[in-house]
């Protein structure tokens, strides 16, 4: 009901605008026209009839333009040929409106004019009005084509944005699936040894391993997880690698309760710990020390630097994974620092509702 009312209001408004445009254009072309009485508000029956006549013309032009637009949209859509549609609609509109206008004027003259001189004067006005109709048809057709181009432009922006969103989500999903095969291999090797050496510890190890993988799978569809849940996951993960390295590895986590409600990408801390273990010596004489702390709006993961002697090349898949995920999720960037004694990574904290 509301849309119908709006449609009628729009049609009335457009009819009034077209009527005013016709009157003003005719007065501009012929300043001594009798239509001056409409502008100067000199009321007479003739002026009243002129107003009604122009309003009817305006309504007819508006309705005819909409009808032509709908018919053209059916047989010659803008998508098929913009130029052909523009020219065809312009020609059809000029002919149709001129024909309707000729019928209007003929009927009006037949009813109101008895002498031929008045009829001839009105024919002069008809020729002037015909010229204005052609210009008006050009304007209406241009508005229709402009409306189509604007709509097409908006659709293109929306489509581009949608495609970009799909691509980014696909990239992010791909990054989440990049699990280090060494992580699985090392843990299954450790589990295999524990089964024969210490079955009870093997049971605990298996439970922690299942918790780690459950967390990974459960958060696979999440872009950001709370720091609190990530630290709970890290506790299980630390248990696994402590079984492997025993006292050769020392991991200290500061109290970061104030930042627990903030978020980070899933398994980001695990990747950094695994990265430190993979590229550094961890022995009884040279224990590897990893420190996790919070500072301002970041989580800091640092380790003492004691690179493996035979490590000539590193693909840095883990770090690249985190960097790429941050690039998709936020304008914030990782800060990576390397000194002679220490390797430091600062992870910016994110809002939990962060989306691509």
pLDDT for 309 equals 81
Tell me which of 174, 205, 234 is where a domain ends.
Answer: 174
pLDDT of residue 116: 47
The structural domain count of the chain equals 2
Residues 160 and 293 in one domain: no
pTM beyond 0.75: the answer is: no
Report the C-alpha gap between 154 and 158 in whole angstroms: 6
In a domain, residue 329? The reply is yes
Final residue of a structural domain among 140, 174, 208: 174
- With respect to residue 356, please indicate whether it lies within any of the assigned structural domains: no
CA separation for the pair 24, 194 (Å, rounded) = 96
The whole-number pLDDT of residue 118 equals: 47
pLDDT of residue 113: 53
Lookup: tokens for 148: 């189509």
353 domain-assigned: no
| Together in a domain, 73 and 205 | no
Does residue 159 share a domain with residue 28? yes
What tens digit of pLDDT does each residue of 163-186 get? 566 556 645 555 555 555 666 777
169 and 200: one domain? no
Task: List, for residues 138-172, the tens digit of each pLDDT value.
Answer: 777 777 677 777 877 787 777 777 656 655 664 55
pLDDT at 123: 57
| List of the chain residues with pLDDT < 50 | 32, 37-39, 41, 115-116, 118-119, 170
Single residue among 147, 174, 201 that ends a domain in this structure: 174
Q: Is the same domain home to 169 and 188? A: no
Tell me what pLDDT residue 24 has.
66
**Can you give the CATH number for the domain in which 310 is found?**
3.30.565.10
Same-domain status, 192 and 118 = no
Reduced to 3 states (helix: H, G, I; strand: E, B; else coil), residue 236 is helix
Asked if residue 323 belongs to a domain, the reply is yes
- Full residue range of the structural domain in which residue 96 is found: 2-174
Question: Has residue 114 been placed in a domain?
Answer: yes
- State the Cα–Cα distance between residues 49 and 36, nearest whole angstrom: 14
- Same domain assignment for residues 223 and 297: yes
The answer to whether residues 199 and 333 belong to one domain is: yes
Neighbours of 135 (CB within 10 A): 12
> 12: which residues sit within 8 A by CB, 6+ positions away?
none
Indicate whether 354 belongs to any domain. Answer: no
Indicate whether 150 and 185 sit together in one domain.
Answer: no
Position 345 scores a pLDDT of 96
Range list of H helices, the chain: 2-29, 36-39, 45-75, 82-112, 116-176, 181-197, 199-218, 227-245, 268-279, 317-329
Apex 30 CA angle, 25 and 32, nearest 5: 125
DSSP letter at 76? S
Rounded CA separation 42/48 (Å): 10
Residues 44 and 96 in one domain: yes
Q: In this structure, are 234 and 126 located in the same domain?
A: no
Same structural domain, 114 and 255? no
**Considering the domain boundaries, does residue 234 fall inside one?**
yes
Domain presence at residue 99: yes
- Cβ pair 183, 216 in contact under 8 A: no
């Amino acid at each position: 009901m509301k849309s119908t009312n709006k449609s009628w209001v729009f049609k009335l408004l457009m009819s009034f605008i077209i009527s005013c445009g016709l009157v003003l254009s005719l007065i501009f072309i012929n300043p001594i026209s009798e239509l001056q009485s409409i502008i100067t508000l000199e009321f007479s029956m003739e002026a009243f009839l002129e107003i009604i006549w122009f309003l009817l013309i305006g309504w007819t032009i508006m309705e005819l333009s909409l009808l032509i637009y709908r018919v053209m949209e059916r047989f010659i859509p803008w998508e098929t040929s913009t130029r052909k549609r523009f020219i065809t609609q312009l020609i059809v509109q000029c002919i149709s409106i001129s024909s309707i206008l000729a019928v209007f004027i003929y009927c009006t003259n037949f009813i109101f004019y008895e002498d031929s001189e008045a009829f001839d004067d009105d024919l002069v006005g008809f020729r002037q009005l015909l010229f204005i109709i052609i210009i008006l048809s050009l304007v209406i057709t241009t508005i229709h084509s402009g409306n189509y181009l604007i709509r097409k432009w908006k659709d293109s922006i929306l489509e581009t944005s949608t495609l970009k969103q799909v691509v980014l989500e696909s990239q992010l999903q791909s990054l989440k699936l990049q699990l280090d095969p060494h992580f699985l291999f090392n843990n299954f090797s450790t589990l295999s040894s524990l089964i024969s050496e210490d079955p009870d510890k093997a049971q605990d190890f298996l439970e922690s391993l299942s918790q780690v993988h459950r967390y990974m799978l459960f958060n696979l569809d999440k872009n950001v997880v709370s720091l609190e849940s990530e630290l709970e996951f890290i506790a299980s993960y630390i248990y696994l690698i402590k079984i492997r390295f025993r006292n050769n590895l020392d991991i200290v986590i500061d109290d970061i309760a104030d930042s627990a409600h903030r978020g980070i990408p899933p398994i980001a801390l695990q990747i950094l710990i695994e990265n430190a273990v993979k590229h550094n010596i961890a022995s009884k004489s040279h224990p590897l020390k990893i420190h996790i702390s919070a500072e301002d709006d970041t989580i800091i993961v640092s380790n003492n630097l004691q690179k493996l002697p035979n490590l000539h090349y590193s693909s840095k898949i883990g770090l690249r994974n985190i960097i790429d995920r941050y690039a998709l999720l936020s304008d914030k960037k990782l800060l990576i620092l390397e000194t002679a004694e220490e390797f430091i990574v600062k992870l910016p904290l994110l809002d939990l509702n962060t989306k691509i």
